[in-house]
Amino acid sequence: MIRVDVDVGIASVRYARSEVMSETSGDRRSESPSGEAFMEPRGAFVTLNTYPDRMLRGCIGYPYPVFSLAKTISEAARAACHDPRFPVLTAEEAKSVTVEVTVLTVPEPLKASNPNEIIESVKIGRDGLILEYKGYRGLLLPQVPVEQGWDVLDYLQGLSYKAGLHYDAWAQPEARLFRFEGEIFHETEPFGEIERGEQDVL
């Protein structure tokens, strides 16, 4: 697993929170966090969950390190307020969601030559996955199968559905799979303390 300094993780969530509040209220952008870690190119996702039931309310991110970590968090946080799967997040509603930031490693090809090897290679709680097949693409963060109680086969089928494909698309010879790891930091309640998320690797 990657290890992100806890101070960086806390600052990441606080910055994402400030960008969410700024986006929903129409205020100017908040001040970007300083430090070398936030200048380095990193992929990251920002997830918004309802509280206390923790239902998904928005999740947008960039899997590849195309921007600095600060810019990635800013762009993802603001875009998560407009996740096309949900109504636009209002300023009032933003006060009642929790903010989560997942900082990613660079995706790399999953080295497996057949479906059985793929299943053996994937570790629940460690691996986020990207599927590319016939112009379709889907991504699931490593915490998703843990939260859903999925085994590896469920995870791969869920990834195929996320890409808009048949459940066994992941097993097709032309399919391309990539894995990445992520480290999670999240608010325990809206505007509350920030904790590092721990995922059991199965």
How would you write the pLDDT of the chain (202 residues) with one tens digit per residue? 567 899 999 999 999 999 999 999 988 777 899 999 999 999 999 999 999 999 999 999 999 999 999 999 999 999 999 999 999 999 999 999 999 999 999 999 999 989 999 999 999 999 999 999 999 999 999 999 999 999 999 999 999 999 999 999 999 999 999 999 999 999 999 999 999 987 655 4
- The letter for the amino acid at 46 is V
Separation CA 182–CA 171 (nearest Å): 24
Give the pair of three-digit tokens for residue 162: 């996320």
Cα distance between residue 198 and residue 34, in whole Å = 26
pLDDT of residue 29: 74
**Predicted pLDDT at 197:** 86
